[in-house]
Amino acid sequence: MGVRLRGLSVVAGMALAQLCVSASAQMAPVPRKEWPIEAFAELPMMVEPQLSPDGMRLAARVSRNGELLLMIASIIEEPNRIRTLQLGENDLNWWRWVNDDWLIAGIGSETNVQGMPWSISRVVSIKRDGSKINLLAKNVAAQNGDDVIWVARDGTPRILLAYQSSIFGSELGFWPQVDEVDVATGKMRPVVQSRQNVMSWYADATGTVRMGVGYDDATRMSKLLYRVDGRSGFRTIDRANRRRDESMVVPLLFTADPGKAIASDDHEGTDALYEYDLTRLELGKKIFAAPGFDIDGIERDTAGTGLAGVRYTAEGPGVHWFDEGLAKIQADIDKAVGAHRRARIVSTSRDHQRMIVHVGSADQPGTYYYYDTAAGAMSILSKISENFGPGVHLSPVRTIRYKARDGLEIAAVLTVPAGKDPKGLPLILMPHGGPFARDSEEWDWWVQFLAYRGYAVLQPNYRGSSGYGTAFADKGEGQWGLAMQDDLNDAVDWAVKEGIADAKRVCIVGASYGGYAAMRGAQRDGARYRCAVSYAGVSDLSAMMRYDRRFLNHGSRKDWMKEQAPDFAAVSPINFAAQFSTPILLMHGRKDRRVQVNQSREMAEKLKAAGKVAGRDYIYVEQPLADHFFSRQADRLEFLQRLDVFLKDHNPA
């Protein structure tokens, strides 16, 4: 079933110099005593720039006129020429270079299928000068069509694309097949046919599909298919029963030795890297671990068969480079930027001679630099913020640890207003979304705005958060709205005991799961909070499960949700509207595809039906063009303006 993507085109953009600010304009400090609210609401000028293999061009998400676009720019040749991808109503999910001439991007959209809104995904290829765009698998892909499992490393414009060809589970095409695609022409060649229940395929560095993961939602059984080379047939080498919480090891990387791989495993408590023997299905030598923390992901070497580095998050983002050249460059840059700022190698050319480096800190969004190691020259590529450049540092951020009531140690990120004595401050408690996620010492526009207004902001990584190992994550099972909520209250108690916060001036603010926690706080623990704010929050777990029935493997998702919250009704704020005892601001985007707008809309209706007064007990704001991720500057600004007024009314700083 083919689906059309609307409004997709590449057009000539403004000069690169207008997007990528000159060095002379950035290096001078820009102290300011008063920042307008618009400064905090601005979209980042550049996000995730990626170099072409030769290091001569970059692709990045940039902001223009308050919206995000994909930019393709030449750095060395014709540096003042760029192209931007006009997305229309489509989402830009990811992008990467295939070779020096072609870029691919993952695009998402929503369409109506049999009376239901469906999210669809596609891959487009874009020539470096913007002269040609191909929608890949245009006439054959069904719902999911953006799973690129391999990109050629020999300079040819080839990828392996796994895609569905049917939306009907009774047809074999519902399960993805794998085709080799020439991104320059759009021509496709079948490589692996669809197999019942196999949704995920994996390829080695040569482009040979070596592994598939199958899952039967009816039986909750998984299986691992494997072959040693492209001439062999697939055989089942492992099985796992999800009902018993069994798991399988799926390699992160196939090495040059066809019987060896690199995998992550958490049998020692946290996710670490190991050698993996594919013939015996056994983990071997541990390669890397970050004590107390899970790893985030790996960086492959130039050949794609070895490790260049591994990324992890401790108090903030970190990296360990196995590549000696990159390790030395990282050490040199770290020394140059000093202890207060972090330097992160974002992208490199194939020979590691040219790279993009981000330098920033938790109190400053930072700057992207273009580094030519052969010339020994690093030049400014682009600021991230038009307002908060390298000379500006906002409120200080640090990690603290506190004990929950049952003795569990919990890390939290604390931001206090710059220049203020951190004593007796009004407090914003901000639980993160997910909930399987975490906060760390990184720039956060929302947090910095609140600190600028005079609030201390505390972001607890409550039980069930990711990044701290299996045992800590497991402590969140069955504790949605219960012990996880207690952890938030205990964070407030810590801040009060330390003298940082005024117990009578606390507001709970969050988005997504954090929005759920804010609703739950207003309903269950209203006496603790002077107000609550939920953006895109979940109010009704049962309704969320009904919405999720449209998605593949809903049974497994429901099992997981039942583990987190065995009794949906008992912990859903929508069932206890009469118990809300503190004012709450509810905001939601109508184009949110992650959490339906009805979650907030119906919560507001229940509050009204329970006798709560609009404008006094609750405020509901629906943003007609907003999504789940604040992708539009206008929506960010309206949110901060509404939040600002609400806090001044109910918890003034």
pTM of the full predicted structure? 0.91
Confidence of residue 518 (pLDDT cuts 50, 70, 90): very high
> What do you get for the CA distance between the two ends of the chain, in Å?
55
Q: Which residue has the higher pLDDT, 43 or 116?
A: 43
What pLDDT does 194 receive? 95
Residue 205 has pLDDT above 90, yes or no: yes
More confident residue, 517 or 169: 517
Instruction: Return d(Cα 123, Cα 136) in angstroms, integer.
Output: 6
Q: In which residue ranges of the chain is CATH 3.40.50.1820 found?
A: 397-650
Q: What is the CATH number of domain 397-650?
A: 3.40.50.1820
Helix (H), strand (E) counts: the chain = 12, 36
Q: How confident is the model at residue 13 (pLDDT cuts 50, 70, 90)?
A: very low
Whole-number percent of the chain with pLDDT over 90: 76
Burial 334-373 (b: 16+ CB within 10 A, else e): eeebeeebbbbbbbbbbebebbbbbbbbbbbbbbbbbbbb
Mean pLDDT over 382-393 rounds to 90
Long-range Cβ contacts of 614-621 (<8 Å, 24+ apart): 616/583, 617/580, 617/583, 617/584, 618/580, 618/583, 618/584, 618/585, 618/586, 619/583, 619/584, 619/585, 619/586, 619/646, 620/586, 620/587, 621/585, 621/586, 621/587, 621/588
Nearest CA to 196 out of 175, 218, 226, 217 is that of 175
Mean pLDDT of 585-600: 94
pLDDT, tens digit, for every residue of 462-472? 999 999 999 99
Mean pLDDT over 241-270 rounds to 90
Question: Span 493-510, mean pLDDT?
Answer: 98
Q: How far apart, in whole angstroms, are the C-alpha atoms of residue 465 and residue 473? A: 6
Could you give the CA distance from residue 80 to residue 18 in angstroms, rounded to a whole number?
9
Q: What pLDDT sits at residue 258?
A: 87
Q: Name the band, by pLDDT with cuts 50, 70 and 90, for residue 79.
A: low
Averaged confidence pLDDT in the chain: 90
**Starting at the edge strand that comes first in sequence, how are the strands of the sheet with 177-182 ordered?**
147-151, 158-163, 177-182, 188-192
pLDDT higher than threshold 60 for residue 55: yes
Examine the pLDDT at 542 and tell me if it is beyond 80: yes
Q: Average pLDDT of 188-193? A: 97
Quick one: CA torsion of 386, 387, 392, 396, rounded to 10 degrees? -110
Give 86: exposed, middle or buried? Use CB within 10 Å, 0-12, 13-18, 19+: middle
Tokens standing for 112?
Answer: 């109506």
What's CA 344's distance to the chain center, in Å?
17
What is the pLDDT, as a whole number, of residue 15?
Answer: 34
Residue 613 has pLDDT above 90, yes or no: yes
How many whole angstroms from its chain centre is CA 382?
A: 22
Whether residue 302 has pLDDT greater than 80: yes
Q: Find the Cα–Cα–Cα–Cα dihedral 575, 579, 580, 582, rounded to 10°.
A: -170
Q: Which of 58-67, 352-361, 443-452, 551-560 has the lowest mean pLDDT?
A: 551-560
Are 540 and 548 spatial neighbours (Cβ–Cβ below 8 Å)? no
The pLDDT value given to residue 306:
94
DSSP code for 5: P
Q: How far apart are CA 222 and CA 526, in angstroms?
A: 44
Predicted local confidence at residue 554, as pLDDT: 53
Cα separation, 157 vs 141, in Å, equals: 20
**Local confidence band at 23 (pLDDT 50, 70, 90 cut-offs):** very low
Q: Is the pLDDT of residue 287 over 80?
A: yes
pLDDT at 452 over 50: yes
d(CA 135, CA 589): 28
Which band of pLDDT confidence, cut at 50, 70 and 90, is reported for residue 57? very high
Run of H or E residues at 523: helix 513-524
pLDDT at 138 over 60: yes
* Residue owning tokens 């694309």: 161
The mean per-residue pLDDT over the stretch 595-614 comes to 97
